[in-house]
């Protein structure tokens, strides 16, 4: 047996310490030093052993294979696949199968794995996720040029399950977003009724470029940006310091926000913005944002709701009838 065959996914029972169990009757030899994406692809290759030949990956699985930005996910997310109308739907722990309504266009994602049409991926996700989650996915899909505007229009004109939620999210999307947290920051501003323009190139009084910013508050010189963990990187920190000096010599004022600010302390963030804009506090705006977060994977309540839904869909499986 050559090295390539020795690393192939296995359908059956393997009781060796050198192998890992992916799901019932699905094993693969352990490999160390893999990235999370590499391990993800290897697990999906195992599931392909029980999927029909024309099956494709969809929902959050398809989104990840296409390299889209993802919302904040629970620790255990099922593998989502779609099979033909007449094909059997295999039952494995951690695998959820839906039906294809049409033959997808040939498309390969990470690791050469087959994925559903991008528009269908979003629709299937819309049946489970909230608006905030969906806008993160749509923004990324638009930025990568994966969505066909005409196909989206045709899909949104139907009455298929998930269309209403997807339509709302699509109207809130923006192809200029460069990260999921930046999308969350933009929607926070929308919820509290602060107009912003994303990805604006700024210049000082002498015409020297300051740089491109995440969000510029409309009609002001206030810049609001997402400050993530990557800003703690040494090289990025040096770049940030140079950028801050350029801001100091300009009329623009920068303020950074973290996901913790937006999700766990939104009242403080909103009050800071209100004071900056010299407008009265209105807690009704905050209530709008809390509803958006509570109905998404960014809240514990939202994650538990979605996980319960996925558990119900998997049901109870009689493993004695599987191989």
Identify the pLDDT of residue 192: 97
Pairing relationship of beta strands 253-257 and 222-226 according to DSSP bridges: parallel
Mean pLDDT of residues grouped by 10 in the chain (323 residues)?
Answer: 67 85 88 92 94 95 97 93 90 90 86 96 97 98 96 96 97 95 97 96 79 93 84 59 70 91 96 95 95 97 94 68 49
DSSP code for 114:
B
Q: How far, in Å, CA of 319 to CA of 56, rounded?
A: 24
Q: What is the 3-state secondary structure (H, E, C) of 243-282?
A: HHHHHHCCCCEEEEECHHHHHHCHHHHHHHHHHHHCCCCC
Identify the pLDDT of residue 240: 66
3-state DSSP assignment of residue 52: coil
Terminal-residue alpha carbon distance, the chain = 24
Identify the pLDDT of residue 323: 45
Burial code (b: 16+ CB inside 10 Å, e: under 16) for 125-150 equals: bbebbbbbbbbbbbbbbbbeebbeee
CA distances 104 to 101, 115, 218, Å, are 9, 8, 41
Output the six-digit token pair for 133. Answer: 């989650």
Identify the pLDDT of residue 1: 42
Identify the CA nearest to 262 among candidates 274, 272, 270: 270
Pairing relationship of beta strands 26-29 and 10-11 according to DSSP bridges: antiparallel
Tokens 């000096």 sit at which residue?
A: 245
Dmax over CA atoms of the chain, in Å, equals: 75
Burial zone of 24 (CB within 10 Å; 0-12 exposed, 13-18 middle, 19+ buried):
middle
DSSP code for 102:
S
The four Cα atoms 290, 291, 293, 299 give a dihedral, to 10 degrees, of 90
Pairing relationship of beta strands 79-83 and 95-99 according to DSSP bridges: parallel
Identify the CA nearest to 125 among candidates 300, 297, 308: 297
Q: How far, in Å, CA of 240 to CA of 237, rounded?
A: 5
Q: How far, in Å, CA of 81 to CA of 57, rounded?
A: 4
CA distances 166 to 34, 101, 130, Å, are 35, 18, 9
Phi, psi of 201, deg, nearest 5: -85, 125
Output Rg (C-alpha) for the chain, integer angstroms.
23
Identify the pLDDT of residue 79: 96
Burial zone of 265 (CB within 10 Å; 0-12 exposed, 13-18 middle, 19+ buried):
middle
Output the six-digit token pair for 76. Answer: 């255990």
Output the six-digit token pair for 209. Answer: 């470029």
Identify the pLDDT of residue 313: 85
Phi, psi of 104, deg, nearest 5: -70, 155
């Amino acid at each position: 047996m050559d090295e390539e065959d020795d690393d192939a996914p296995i359908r059956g029972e393997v009781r060796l310490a050198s192998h890992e169990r992916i799901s019932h009757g699905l094993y693969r030899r352990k490999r160390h030093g893999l990235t999370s994406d590499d391990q993800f692809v290897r697990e999906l290759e195992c599931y392909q052993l029980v999927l029909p030949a024309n099956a494709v990956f969809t929902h959050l699985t398809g989104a990840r294979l296409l390299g889209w930005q993802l919302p904040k996910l629970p620790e255990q997310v099922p593998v989502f696949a779609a099979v033909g109308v007449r094909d059997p739907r295999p039952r494995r722990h951690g695998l959820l199968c839906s039906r294809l309504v049409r033959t997808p266009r040939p498309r390969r994602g990470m690791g050469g794995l087959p994925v559903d049409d991008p528009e269908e991926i979003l629709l299937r996700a819309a049946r489970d996720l909230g608006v905030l989650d969906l806008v993160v996915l749509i923004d990324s899909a638009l930025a990568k040029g994966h969505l066909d505007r005409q196909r989206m229009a045709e899909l949104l004109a139907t009455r298929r399950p998930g269309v209403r939620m997807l339509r709302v999210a699509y109207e809130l999307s923006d192809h200029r977003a460069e990260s999921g947290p930046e999308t969350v920051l933009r929607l926070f501003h929308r919820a509290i009724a602060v107009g912003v323009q994303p990805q604006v190139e700024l210049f000082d009084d002498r015409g020297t470029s300051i740089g491109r910013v995440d969000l510029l508050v409309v009609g002001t010189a206030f810049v609001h940006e997402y400050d993530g963990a990557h800003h703690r990187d040494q090289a990025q920190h040096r770049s940030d310091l140079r950028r801050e000096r350029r801001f100091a010599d300009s009329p623009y004022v920068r303020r950074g926000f973290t996901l913790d600010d937006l999700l766990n302390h939104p009242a403080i963030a909103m009050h800071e913005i209100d004071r900056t804009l010299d407008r009265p506090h209105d807690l009704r705006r905050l209530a709008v944002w809390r509803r958006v977060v509570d109905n998404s994977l960014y809240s514990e309540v939202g994650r538990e709701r979605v996980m319960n839904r996925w558990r119900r869909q998997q049901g109870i499986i009689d493993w004695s009838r599987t191989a």
